[in-house]
Chain A
Amino acid sequence: MKALYVRCMDVLHRFCMIVAGACLVTITLIIPWGVFTRYVLNSASSWPEPGAVLLMIWFSFLAASICYRENLHIGVAVIPMMLEGNARLAVGWLIEACMMGTNLFMFWWGIKLVQTTWQQSISDFPWYSVGASYLPVPIGGLITALFVIERLWTSKLFAEPEAESISGISTE
Chain B
Amino acid sequence: MDMLILMGGFAVLCLLGMPVAYALGLSAIFAAMWIDLPLEAVMLKTSDGMDDFALLAIPFFILAGGIMAEGGMAERLVNLAKVFVGFLRGGLALVNILASTFFGCISGSSVADTASIGSVMIPQMIKNGYPRLFAVNVTIAGSLQPLLIPPSHNAVIYSLAAGGTISVAHLFIAGIIPGLLLGLSLMALCIYIARRDNFPKGEVIPLRRALTIFVEAFWGLLTVFIIIGGILSGIFTPTESAAIACIYSFLVTMFVYRDYKWSELPLLVARVVRTVGMVMIMIGFSVAFGYMMAIMQVPAKVTQFFLTVASDKYTFLFLVNILLLVLGTFMDLAPMLLICTPIFLPVIKTFGIDPVHFGMIMILNLGIGLLTPPVGPTLAVGCAIGKVTMEAVSKSIMIFYIPMLIVLGLVTYIPALSLWLPSVLLK
Which residues of A come within 8 Å of B, CB atoms?
17, 20-21, 24-25, 27-29, 31-32, 34-35, 39, 49, 52-53, 56-57, 59-64, 66-68, 70, 72-80, 91-92, 94-95, 98-99, 101-102, 105-106, 109-110, 112-113, 116, 133-134, 136-137, 158, 165, 167-172
Contact = CB atoms under 8 A, between A and B. Distances in A.
B20 A78 contact: no
Tell me whether chain B's interface is mostly helix, strand or loop, or mixed.
helix
A171 B278 contact: yes
Contacts of A78: 15, 17, 330
B113 to A, nearest CB: 9
B216 interface: no
A64 B15 CA distance: 21
Looking at B13, B63, B281, the one whose CB has the most chain A CB atoms below 10 A away is B281
Contacts of B17: 75-80, 91-92, 95, 158
B55 A75 contact: no
Contacts of A172: 109-111, 332-334, 370, 377-378
A72 B274 contact: yes
A67 to B, nearest CB: 4
A79 B15 contact: yes
Contact of B56 (A17, A52, A167): A52
Given A113-B40, A171-B279, A172-B332, A75 B378 contact: no
A24 B25 contact: no
Contact of B112 (A98, A106, A169): A169
Interface stretch (B127-135, B236-244, B403-411): B236-244
A136 B69 CA distance: 31
Contacts of A165: 274
A74 B277 contact: no
B16 A35 contact: no
Contacts of A56: 50, 55-56, 59, 280
Interface stretch (B41-49, B83-91, B161-169, B344-352): B41-49
B294 interface: no
Contact of A168 (B69, B240, B335, B370): B69
Contacts of B115: 167-168, 170
A81 B100 CA distance: 34
Interface of B: 13-22, 25-26, 29, 39-40, 42-44, 46-47, 50-53, 55-56, 58-60, 62-63, 65-66, 69-70, 109-112, 114-116, 153-154, 235-236, 239-240, 243-244, 246-247, 266, 268-282, 284, 330-335, 370, 375, 377-378, 381
Contacts of A61: 281
A73 B278 contact: yes
A59 B273 contact: yes
Given A49-B53, A66-B277, A171-B334, A73 B22 contact: yes
Given A61-B281, A73-B22, A76-B330, A95 B274 contact: no
6 contacts: A32-B247, A53-B56, A66-B274, A137-B47, A168-B116, A170-B111
B16 A60 contact: no
Contacts of B154: 171
Nearest to B42: A109
A101 B29 CA distance: 10
A89 B274 CA distance: 27
* Among all A-B residue pairs, the 3 with the closest Cβ atoms: A63-B277, A168-B115, A73-B19
A114 B14 CA distance: 30
Contacts of A171: 58, 62, 109, 153-154, 275-276, 278-279, 332-334
Contacts of A31: 56, 60, 239-240, 243
Given A52-B56, A172-B110, A167 B277 contact: no
Contacts of A24: 59, 63, 269, 272-273, 276
B358 to A, nearest CB: 20
A52 B22 CA distance: 25
Contacts of B269: 21, 24-25
A63 B63 CA distance: 15
A63 B274 contact: yes
Contacts of A28: 59-60, 63, 243, 246-247
Contacts of B235: 39
A53 B51 contact: yes
Contacts of B69: 168-169
Contacts of B50: 56-57, 60
A31 B377 CA distance: 32
B377 A53 contact: no
B53, B69, B244, B277, most chain A CB atoms within 10 A = B277
A109 B46 CA distance: 12
Contacts of A137: 43, 46-47
Contacts of A57: 47, 50-51
